[in-house]
Structure 1
């Protein structure tokens, strides 16, 4: 210590000033929340993907100067996330079309509601909300989606302007399950739903029921794998886009366009994108139709949205550059600064969590609070046999290409049989947690394949961290008692994404449940922090 003091006295005044300025900059940087990956390169260009996170089945419209993008949410609640942007590159969450799916809502009975509430051994993993459509017409937003488990198609509506809450949720009567459907308001005032492979069904003007005597027919045969239907009209042509499986070679999706001067055909077709895992194109309804949003299947992180130019060739919308999605390209417009969905949360908001979070199923609102201990998220305890059956698991997307998330946990009130912590959440999950084993609290790292490692907990205040590398598909788990020196615990998790299991990517998840009979305990989380880099055993 004395040597350090003597050395500091020899530093020149100018160097002290420089070091002071540097220290201020570093402190300011540390005080700011760590943003996720950004696509905006800051020089008028962008890189793909536009978000390195799971925002699939994109449907994008433009209202005024603002673009809105809607994505699938499958089992997660609130559902149907809607994001906004000024430039198609920088996106922020601005709404969800519904908070939950439960009994008493339009078309929902108790048996199906039980699955959304993780009741009676039921769940809706890989089901729930599929492939939505977002449209704007006469001052109102329309969000439609289908649900295979419910066997129904729904429309959610709200008046402009876009904001959280205020949505009406209604089953579209008379249509049942409409696969990957797209809503379409024609220029003559009629409204249709296009789905399947390929069917068109005329709706009444309010979009809440099938129109009696209206058009209802298969307009062409797009095959059984006719996914991601999108319809728009330009220069007198109706264009229907979809993503079938490529006819020869290994399994691969391609993008096709069908066009006709009449809605009911006849249609001609053309391949407009043939680029590996990039597919399910939405040509953006901005008046010029010169941009397209699509997604790429990207392993553990999920399905990530990409942006590509549209080149019109003989009235065909060719996607990308030479029918490939570019790695970098000029931004559509200048925009208004770099933006992204949130990450960090100090849980200081009373009665709610920030918009980046979603519950794994319908939350039990009696079992969580940010009010009982202000500045902390309290997850109360419910009984479950394993993490996938646990209520009130709070999740947000992992980010690529790498990311790290960590929490401060107060385990003082974790009772016997209770497990609470941080998970790399998916069907093939892993976690690091505090477990009360018959009165002895342990730090436990567990992977769903059965590998488990534990050490005794030495302090009720403990920090838990998860590092994920989306290139190697590896997750690592750490703990600390001071949030500075970290110790890795247990085995690496090999993240294994198979879309038919859940259709969504891995997530950071905060959880608390018990395998015992005592549900009086609870877990308190002071914060969640994020880094776009894996931090390992360092700070």
Structure 2
């Protein structure tokens, strides 16, 4: 435990509150008499159960007074209960705690008039018929206007732990979180809801993603793969560029997975394209720099100085019996030391890498890669410079990183609504679309909401006319690309 009167002006040295094993998710609580308690969860080896206990402590939080009282058995109806948060309201002590597992669980609430129990239990939110699986690890928030809300996360695999904000009401001194569609006291997460009333109106803000590195400090979207060190980078060595130094990861095998000096950011959308322009200035063999999708499995594009020449390579990394291994999927001689690396991320976290020297003509590299989650986080987009063998004086200057909408190939031709209406009635247009899809093996590559159905055809297909079906019942655009019959 550590304390401060100002989080921006330093913290007191850490205090070891309790030497123990198997205690997780501690939550301090001060009741209205000034007494201090610690509610925590213990995991019983081999049983997979987690049981909350309440422990009295000193009011300053520096130590505990005894071993605590076991107050609830999660084995009965709420296996894997964890993440306990304690509150007091209207004479009741409440413990909010998720149970059932991160991906498949629910939100449990315990309540009692006595802090040591016995406690009643109730499931106050579950997935229900929604797409929000395992609503998990949350906390109760009360606004200055008296509204009640609950913030929690949803595990979306490679997309990480997505934060949700749910409305909350009190019914008979039980919280109901989300929307109680069946009037049973158990809510379901909402997709859309009116924002909290916090006493004012504020503009919509979204996290930053792209960066042109024209400031003297990194934006909040960036996270290092380990505790940062100043020697890893510079924003002042070259104006308008981020310089990453080709340092060696001396603690491990030299693989990228173990490198601490990867600059990363989380996925901010189900689909996006990210590109990075860099200028490579190697000093010795083994210097490399590039763009990575990082998780338990990972793939990256890199420009590397080898004994023969600078090479552009696509490399795949994955767990193995001896830790991690890397496989070179593709390698070719670099045409320039200035290169643009790009990754297209499609629904399902399917990633495709490519590179260009002029930002217009991109060359595909490697193969499609399904991004995977990391430890406790989703997959991450990252940029890096390193040396596999030793520290180097080499570096890479990153001009920019741009994160935006998915890249779609340029159209050959899209027939206007007026043209198709002149030639075909609506039903015939539907039949024509079906026929063209089957005959020319067109495959859907993108969804977006609008009227009608577009057929997108590349010039190489030889198909002279793309057709659009106008249908008042279809509020979707299908975009198709032709697949040659010899594939």
User: TM-score, structure 2 length as denominator?
Assistant: 0.70
2:189 maps to 325
1:165 shift after superposition: 6.1
1:391 maps to 260
Contact 2:151–2:164 (8 Å) recurs in 1: yes
> Among residues 282, 293, 299, which one is paired with 1:424 in the alignment?
293
* Mapped pair 1:159 → 2:5: yes
Q: Which deviates more, 237-246 or 424-433?
A: 237-246
> Among residues 54, 68, 73, which one is paired with 1:200 in the alignment?
54
Cα 1:374–1:362 change in 2 (3 A) is same
Aligned-partner Cα distance in 1 for 2:143–2:226: 34
SS in 2 for 1:388: helix
More contact order relative to length (CA 8 Å, sep ≥ 6)? 1
2:269 maps to 400
Contact 2:36–2:58 (8 Å) recurs in 1: yes
Aligned-partner Cα distance in 1 for 2:116–2:81: 17
2:134 maps to 277
1:521 maps to 394
Which of the pair has more CA radius of gyration?
2
Aligned-partner Cα distance in 1 for 2:408–2:264: 22
1:210 maps to 63
Cα 1:251–1:406 change in 2 (3 A) is closer
Cα 1:534–1:203 change in 2 (3 A) is farther
1:300 shift after superposition: 0.8
* Mapped pair 1:447 → 2:321: no
> Among residues 474, 477, 491, which one is paired with 2:353 in the alignment?
477
User: TM-score, structure 1 length as denominator?
Assistant: 0.64
1:188 maps to 33
4+ residue runs over 4 A deviation: none
Cα 1:286–1:263 change in 2 (3 A) is farther
Aligned-partner Cα distance in 2 for 1:156–1:188: 23
1:506 shift after superposition: 0.8
SS in 1 for 2:226: coil
2:88 maps to 233
SS in 1 for 2:257: helix
Aligned-partner Cα distance in 2 for 1:167–1:285: 28
The equivalences for 1:87-126 within 5 A come to none
* Mapped pair 1:462 → 2:339: yes
1:493 shift after superposition: 1.0
Contact 1:410–1:524 (8 Å) recurs in 2: yes
1:366 shift after superposition: 2.0
1:349 maps to 215
The equivalences for 1:56-75 within 5 A come to none
Contact 1:291–1:308 (8 Å) recurs in 2: yes
Q: Which runs of 5+ in 2 are unaligned?
A: 42-50, 128-132, 181-186, 319-326, 411-487
Contact 1:382–1:391 (8 Å) recurs in 2: no
Q: Which deviates more, 375-384 or 318-327?
A: 375-384
